[in-house]
Chains A and B, each alone.
Chain A
Amino acid sequence: MAIERKFKIGKPILEVKNISLSFGGVKAITDTSFDVLEHEVRAIIGPNGAGKSSMLNCINGIYKPQQGTVSFKGKEIPNITPNLMAQMGLSRTFQNLALFKRMSVLDNILVGRKLHTKTNFLEVAFQLPKVKKEEKINRERSEEIISFLEIEDIKDTPVGKLPYGLQKKVELGRALATDSSVILLDEPMAGMNVEEKRDMCRFILKVNDELGTTMVLIEHDMGVVMDISDRVVVLDYGKVIGDGTPDEVRSNQKVIDAYLGVEH
């Protein structure tokens, strides 16, 4: 691309090496390796059941792979848990929406500020000055994210009452509020119409561009993926069948076969 990027793509920030994951006898992922570079938009694509969401769950620590390692920021992480990854600066969204349904949009995003909240419950109970200071900073940051995502008018609405597209936006907002260096997006555009998809793409690129956040996303819509990502990794039956820039992947015969089917 001709446009100069504020955050130049750098060294690998996240490396997945030889991951294998199986549920009982079903192999979800087999010996998969790839890396994600700092400040890039990296897409994971593949047909249904290719193991994309399982891959994200392995990176984030929800699933424990039987083999293989995940390295983050140059460190190999042995006992990986969602909480630990969050503390190291990796946030995520979920495929089937995992918002706090009875809480307002603002409160949902404020939960994302948890790791920037250092006061304990006693200090909160007595509303010490430092609690107020911290709360003010967190609220200001959350409001910034809300106006960044253009959802000011719904910030006090309980999330459960919002339409799907908006909920996806709130979930992105919550991930953003953590100020993480890497955000994993599990199908951020699933079930959206063309307009909402375009909106979501704009936000993803805007976040990547303005904050330099590394984005790893899973997406079904090939057109969208090819437009916004720097590099794409293609999974099929739990294996990597293609890895490279969108153009390289597009001309990869294996990928074409997996998506269009092969004549036998």
Chain B
Amino acid sequence: MKPVFMTYTKKDLINLAVCMVLSVLVIPTFITTEYWYTSILIPWLCLALATIGQQIVMGYTGQLALGAAGFMAAGAFAMFNLILRVPDLGFVGSLIVSGLIAAAFGILFGLPSLKVRGIYLMVATLASQFFIIWMIDKFGWFKNYDSSGIITAQDIVILGKPFTTPLAMYFVCLAVTTVLTLLAMNMARGSTGRNWMAVRDMDIAAESMGVSLLRTKVQAFAISAFYCGVAGALFAFCYLKSLEPVAFDIKLSFKILFMCILGGLGTINGAFIGAAFILLFPVLLNAIGNNVFHGAIDATIISSIEQVIFGGLMIIFMIYEPLGMAKLWENIKQKWKTKIPSSTNLKSSLSKKT
């Protein structure tokens, strides 16, 4: 299909329009319970954004990295300190600068990727996870010498207007996520993304074509950390509403890794699908536990079952569909199309015959 606007085809634009209508008009009119915003939609958007970051470095550039939550912590605490100490920056300015600070960490911890690869790189990037959390814990300055260890995030104020209701915060997250997703798509489909994928698929050939491994890998790590940093700031300010390093531990990194793999490596929409699945699945299990078994199953057992099912799914996907749910969705659509050819397809096939 030919692109009609920038790199987007007509189909992409329709999809984008549907998503925008759903998220801007349909969701706010039909979902009125606060629970959905504060516990599902806002974390979904934040984690999807972090997963896009993970996708860039892992799905597109093929560098096994595990430390997304560390960069998120860097972003979140940078945001807190920026608003506290440089109030002139404003919310959006602080958000961008905290992303850049996270990106600086990304560059630092992405450097090992030039020498080690695969599982060894994963271990090397784990250092970022532990180092950043340790640094925040160790130096009181980052937490403004707060003795309790948990600090409250400041209220979001954009252009003098407070954004404190769940719905308002949802719109803040939605706006940031939409803009960054579109930028990520532009990069992934353009020459930048081709360089990433060339490094992923065959680095020696990429180098022989003039793609610099150093620049491409470090760039991917930096962009990835930027996305994670912004996601972390939103996660802390819109979802947690408090800042504690423990919230960004290794478990969160793994969660983002799972979202990335289940959603589909090397896809942007997979990030959203994966994040939705990992967030909604426990809710679904709980609902089943409460409504079908009427609380007969203990909550702890349900959360254990959740882990078991996640583990099982990971294995099943790795074996049968390494490209994840995004690919699965494509396959289903493809089958649907071949089963029921749409009227336009019929027409064109008829006109070809005559």
Point out residues on A near B: beta carbons under 8 Å.
60, 62, 81-83, 85-87, 91-92, 94, 98-103, 107, 110-112, 114-115, 117, 119, 121, 124-127, 131-132, 134-135, 138, 174, 178
Contacts and interface: CB of A to CB of B under 8 A. Distances in A.
B190 A98 contact: no
B192 A124 contact: yes
Given A107-B194, A126-B186, A114 B208 contact: no
Nearest to B204: A98
The DSSP consensus for interface residues of chain B is helix
Given A103-B194, A124-B191, A124-B192, A114 B201 contact: no
A143 to B, nearest CB: 12
Contacts of B206: 100, 111
Among the interface residues B186, B205, B209, B266, which one has the most CB atoms of the partner chain A within 10 A? Answer: B209
Contact of A111 (B184, B209, B212, B266): B209
A148 to B, nearest CB: 18
B207 A83 contact: yes
B205 A99 contact: yes
Contacts of A174: 209
Among the interface residues B7, B202, B219, which one has the most CB atoms of the partner chain A within 10 A? Answer: B202
A112 B210 CA distance: 8
The DSSP consensus for interface residues of chain A is helix
Contacts of B211: 83, 111, 114
Contacts of B219: 121
Given A102-B197, A121-B223, A112 B191 contact: no
Contacts of B195: 111, 114
Interface string B181-198: 001101100111011011
A62 B208 CA distance: 9
Contacts of B210: 83, 86-87, 114-115, 178
Contact of A124 (B187, B207, B209, B213): B187
Nearest to A156: B1
Contact of B194 (A60, A85, A110): A110
B332 interface: no
A135 B201 contact: no
10 contacts: A87-B210, A94-B204, A99-B202, A100-B198, A102-B200, A121-B187, A121-B223, A127-B6, A138-B191, A174-B209
B183 A86 contact: no
Contacts of A119: 191
A81 B4 CA distance: 40
A111 B194 contact: yes
A92 B208 contact: yes
A167 B213 CA distance: 24
Interface in B198-235: 198, 200-202, 204-213, 219, 223
Given A99-B201, A103-B201, A125-B183, A82 B192 contact: no
A18 B212 CA distance: 29
Contact of A114 (B6, B187, B191): B191
Among the interface residues A60, A62, A85, A135, which one has the most CB atoms of the partner chain B within 10 A? Answer: A135
Contacts of B207: 81-83, 86
B187 A103 contact: no
Among the interface residues A110, A125, A132, which one has the most CB atoms of the partner chain B within 10 A? Answer: A125
Contacts of A127: 6-7, 186, 190
B209 A112 contact: yes
Contacts of A115: 209-210
